[in-house]
Chains A and B, each alone.
Chain A
Amino acid sequence: MNRVFLISFAACVLFGSRCSAHVGSPDVFYEGYAGPYRIFVTVRTPPMIPGIAQIEVRALDGNVTDIRIVPLRAVGEGSEYAPPSDRMERSQVDAQYFTGKLWLMASGAWQVRMEVFGTQGKGESAVPVPAAARRTLRMQKSTGTLLIALMLLLVTSMIAILGAAARESQLEPGTATSAPQRRRGRIAMAVTAVALVVILFLGNMWWNAAASGRADIMMYKAPPVEASLQNTNTLVLKMGFSSWHDRRKQMLLDKIIPDHGHLMHLFLLGLPDLDRFYHLHPDQVASDTFTERLPAVTAGNYAVFADIVRESGFPDTMTARMSLPDVPGNPPIGDDSATTVAYLSDGKGLGTVLTLPDHSHWEWIIEGQTIHARQPALLRFRVFDKDGKPASDLEPYMGMAGHLVIVKHDLTVFAHVHPSGSMPMAALMLLEKQNNSGISAMTAMPGMHETARPAEVTFPYGFPEPGGYRLFVQIKKNGQVQTGAFDAHVEP
């Protein structure tokens, strides 16, 4: 008889997933090619949908003179016809920096298609952008004061108008008002005042209901997931649909598609110090259930982050927390990986250089610069062999030069980034297929080559908010997945 060993616990205590695909990291960062031009694209998604996305493009190679952008659905209906494209504004200070904005009118999977013009002709590119409302805006005090003042004016003037209407509007011209008419006016004013109070009360109720209903319909909610341990070492994830997803099944195309070879990327992070890191790939055993035979896991509390991508290219990150006992198991195999950070640290916190057990070492090339929130940057990591020479034996890990997982210490931010950017590779592949560019998106993207990689891996990213972050960098070297951890402090 199967013994149910420890089940969930505060499993599924969702910690407020604040955005799709990642948690608390809504902006999209992309590095890739538009024809001959290498570009770094930042898409700052609007907090509310419909809303305006801010687009920033920096040309990294080549002389770019003009860029045009247009938003379309990523796949299916709505991806066929494009509205007229918008011309991006070229910076007066930096001629290779362009800015623009686009309306995202509905939630779901979008693409920002761009035409890049320059001295080497025209190039095209498309960046997947998941759009989902994250927050509503509180009314500013000044706006509220103005509206209240106007409301008072309108209410009192309406009372006066209806009083005058009852009192004297039907008098023959030139006739003075009589006492009964003045009394009628006063009664009308009193009745109007009462009626307006009732109307305002009902209006306020309607406003609150409409605002709450609108927020409920629009605000993104991650799908719920229940995590439990069964049969000693089998992690079971049972996922559901949030009301947000339920309303958008047709648009999202809820079937899950593989993202670089796996339907789900599952991350277990040891709490509270983020000192244990597991990157696993559970199998789908039912439409809503994934299971994973765990490698050996140390007892403790864990944060669970589960990344999936829908058929439309829309990603979701489901979150939960769970407590695990000591789980017996084998070392991770295949694409699975596990690491503990303790041996990497000398007790002084994680720096920008680390040494691995095989005596190779990694360096985060940050060159003493301060990291600021919302500032897009290429995060560069260089790998050296034990002789101190740039490593020459890096291999693709799940088709990528590297993977980067970024977690804020308070767990309010989680991002899974690749050398081509913060969007899922599956979404990029969909666009490549959709746009029929004739160029393989995989080979056009940084870090997607199947051949040996240079010793440096870069990730385009911008930290969403100030605070302390831990970065888990993963590469494959000499047949082994290696994970390095770094700490970053992000300034406002």
Chain B
Amino acid sequence: MAHTAPYPVSATSQSGALARVAVIPWYVWCAAIAVTSTTVGLYWDISWHTSIGRDTFWTPAHLCIHFGAILAGLSSTYLILTTTFGKNRAKKEFSVRIWGFYGPLGTFVALWGGLTMLTSAPFDDWWHNAFGLDVQILSPPHVVLILGIFILGLGGLFLIIAEMNRANTETRSILNRIFLHVGCMLTILLLMLISEYTGYTQSHSAIYYRALALAMPLVLVGIARASGYKWAATKVAAIYSVLWLLALWLVPLVPAEPKLGPVYTRVTHLVPMEFPLLLFAGAAALDFLLDRMAGRNKWLQAAVGGAGFLLAMIAVQWPMGRFLISPLAENRIFGTNYYPYMQPPSDYHFNHQFNFYERSRAQFWVGMIIAFAAAFVMTRIGLAWGDWMRRVKR
């Protein structure tokens, strides 16, 4: 037992379930709830836009997103203020100092994320007035918002990992579960961010694998490395798959109707996002290869791990894409029978054929080479980031 609990725990709460709750600081729960709320809100918002369309600041989806930002912002601010101006000197020992304020690194990062999310609001409002209500995810103000959300999630991760790195074995195990959950939320956020390039109809294009390579190894390797537990990346991918499948199957049970014209497709329920990626294949490849190569040169680990991730993803997504465009997938299980209200019936056939992003075979292969290079680089960055997080104590 190398670490102590961050705060004194009373004798009566040293054992049993009460003890487990007692040693998890309140702000860890706040961070986990904030990231979850924001992630759920973002999924809900995308579904809202494809099913209902009309939105205001006060849609439930927006409220979910903003609740996450407000919760993270308020809890971080409170923690920083009480640490800086409170009488408990012990708190400062677990803190970093920024501009004279004290608090765990994660609180400052989360606060920064919340502030960035707030910044995106007037930017987005102006963008809508100047260029119309956007229908794309990756507009500049949306990227600012998503950056804020992502940084907010990172703040949560840093808060938890610092606790983990100071905790005893039992507490660390509980914190690890929360850490993997928050890591999964970050993974989901990233997958939503790149979803314009990872639709199943693009799974025979290099852009699909370039987007995956740029986004996934970094977060999966970083989280797995920081967690230190076996098969951590696979667990994250498994949680993502379960949650995404639940969304695919449950979201359509919620009644909804379009409130914006033109309505091209009659929609009577919320439209879910597509069938989840088979990410556990790539994650398992990463876990397996990096575990087998532990202790070897990091660059070599990155090369083998990144290539393994991408090959595993190609091996599963290539045939899966073929299956998903087939009539066999047009059901509630695989969800290719759902169309957003703004998709004209004359365009339905696009959902059942491949959309080849690259215009030539040469472009495709260049794209795939870039994908492998990206997987290598991002795996290496993920290793460095994960190793850095394992040492964070404050």
State the A residues within 8 Å of B (CB). Answer: 48-51, 70-73, 77-79, 81-84, 102-103, 105-106, 110, 133, 136-140, 143, 146-147, 150-151, 153-154, 157-158, 160-161, 163-165, 167-174, 203, 206-207, 210-211, 214-215, 218
Cβ of B93: which chain A residues have Cβ within 8 Å of it? 173-174
> Do B132 and A103 touch across chains, with their CB atoms under 8 A apart?
no
- How many contacts between A and B, using CB within 8 angstroms? 146
Cβ of A139: which chain B residues have Cβ within 8 Å of it? 126, 130
> Do B260 and A103 touch across chains, with their CB atoms under 8 A apart?
yes
> Do A170 and B392 touch across chains, with their CB atoms under 8 A apart?
yes
Give Cα A245–Cα B84 distance, bound, in whole angstroms: 61
> Do A48 and B130 touch across chains, with their CB atoms under 8 A apart?
yes
> Do B130 and A137 touch across chains, with their CB atoms under 8 A apart?
yes
> Do A51 and B132 touch across chains, with their CB atoms under 8 A apart?
yes
Supply 13 further A-B pairs (C-beta < 8 A) apart from A70-B261, A203-B140.
A72-B261, A73-B261, A78-B344, A83-B257, A83-B258, A103-B133, A137-B126, A143-B126, A157-B115, A160-B99, A161-B112, A165-B96, A211-B140
> Do A158 and B112 touch across chains, with their CB atoms under 8 A apart?
yes
Give Cα A115–Cα B261 distance, bound, in whole angstroms: 17
> Do A105 and B133 touch across chains, with their CB atoms under 8 A apart?
yes
B96: nearest residue on chain A (CB-CB)? A164
> Do A173 and B132 touch across chains, with their CB atoms under 8 A apart?
no
**B13 interfacial by beta-carbon distance below 8 Å:** no
> Do B166 and A173 touch across chains, with their CB atoms under 8 A apart?
yes
Cβ of B261: which chain A residues have Cβ within 8 Å of it? 70-73, 78, 82-83, 102-103, 105, 110
B141: nearest residue on chain A (CB-CB)? A207
**B391 interfacial by beta-carbon distance below 8 Å:** yes
Give Cα A203–Cα B388 distance, bound, in whole angstroms: 27
Cβ of A83: which chain B residues have Cβ within 8 Å of it? 53-54, 257-261, 263
**B200 interfacial by beta-carbon distance below 8 Å:** no
How many residues of B are in contact with the other chain, CB < 8 A? 49
Q: A78-B344, A106-B262, A139-B126 are in contact. Are A147 and B119 (CB under 8 A)?
A: yes
**B94 interfacial by beta-carbon distance below 8 Å:** yes
Give Cα A170–Cα B135 distance, bound, in whole angstroms: 43
Q: A77-B344, A77-B346 are in contact. Are A164 and B257 (CB under 8 A)?
A: no
Could you mark each residue 224-260 of chain B with 1 if its beta carbon is under 8 Å from any beta carbon of chain A, else 0?
Answer: 0000000000000000000000000000000001111
Quote the shortest CB–CB distance from B292 to chain A (angstroms).
28
Q: Lowest 9 A-B CB distances belong to which pairs?
A: A78-B262, A174-B93, A81-B263, A164-B96, A50-B133, A137-B130, A77-B344, A71-B261, A173-B93
List 7 interface pairs A-B (beta carbons < 8 Å), by A numbering: A50-B135, A81-B266, A84-B259, A138-B130, A163-B98, A169-B158, A207-B140
Quote the shortest CB–CB distance from A490 to chain B (angstroms).
27
Give Cα A105–Cα B140 distance, bound, in whole angstroms: 20
**B152 interfacial by beta-carbon distance below 8 Å:** no
Give Cα A140–Cα B127 distance, bound, in whole angstroms: 11
Give Cα A167–Cα B108 distance, bound, in whole angstroms: 14
Give Cα A169–Cα B226 distance, bound, in whole angstroms: 15
A107: nearest residue on chain B (CB-CB)? B132
> Do A105 and B130 touch across chains, with their CB atoms under 8 A apart?
no
Give Cα A160–Cα B259 distance, bound, in whole angstroms: 45
Quote the shortest CB–CB distance from B179 to chain A (angstroms).
16
The residue in A105, A140, A206 that gathers the most chain B C-beta atoms within 10 A of its C-beta is: A105
Give Cα A376–Cα B248 distance, bound, in whole angstroms: 50
The residue in A72, A83, A137, A143 that gathers the most chain B C-beta atoms within 10 A of its C-beta is: A83
Contact of A105 among B53, B116, B158, B166 (CB under 8 A): B53
**B86 interfacial by beta-carbon distance below 8 Å:** no
A177: nearest residue on chain B (CB-CB)? B97
Give Cα A154–Cα B113 distance, bound, in whole angstroms: 9
**B139 interfacial by beta-carbon distance below 8 Å:** yes
Q: A147-B119, A151-B119, A169-B392 are in contact. Are A77 and B264 (CB under 8 A)?
A: yes
Give Cα A136–Cα B127 distance, bound, in whole angstroms: 9
Give Cα A157–Cα B112 distance, bound, in whole angstroms: 8
A169: nearest residue on chain B (CB-CB)? B105
> Do A171 and B393 touch across chains, with their CB atoms under 8 A apart?
yes
Contact of A210 among B140, B162, B260 (CB under 8 A): B140
Quote the shortest CB–CB distance from A329 to chain B (angstroms).
47
Cβ of A206: which chain B residues have Cβ within 8 Å of it? 140
> Do B140 and A218 touch across chains, with their CB atoms under 8 A apart?
no
Cβ of A207: which chain B residues have Cβ within 8 Å of it? 140
Contact of B394 among A133, A154, A168 (CB under 8 A): A168
Q: A158-B112, A169-B393 are in contact. Are A214 and B131 (CB under 8 A)?
A: yes
Give Cα A143–Cα B120 distance, bound, in whole angstroms: 12
> Do B130 and A133 touch across chains, with their CB atoms under 8 A apart?
no
> Do B96 and A77 touch across chains, with their CB atoms under 8 A apart?
no
> Do A168 and B97 touch across chains, with their CB atoms under 8 A apart?
yes
Give Cα A49–Cα B261 distance, bound, in whole angstroms: 13
Give Cα A49–Cα B129 distance, bound, in whole angstroms: 9
Contact of B98 among A70, A71, A161 (CB under 8 A): A161
Interface residues of B in 16-57 (CB under 8 A from A): 53-54
> Do B132 and A50 touch across chains, with their CB atoms under 8 A apart?
yes
A214: nearest residue on chain B (CB-CB)? B131
Quote the shortest CB–CB distance from B308 to chain A (angstroms).
30
> Do B129 and A173 touch across chains, with their CB atoms under 8 A apart?
no
Cβ of B131: which chain A residues have Cβ within 8 Å of it? 48, 136, 211, 214-215, 218
Give Cα A70–Cα B54 distance, bound, in whole angstroms: 13
Cβ of A153: which chain B residues have Cβ within 8 Å of it? 115
Give Cα A87–Cα B230 distance, bound, in whole angstroms: 59
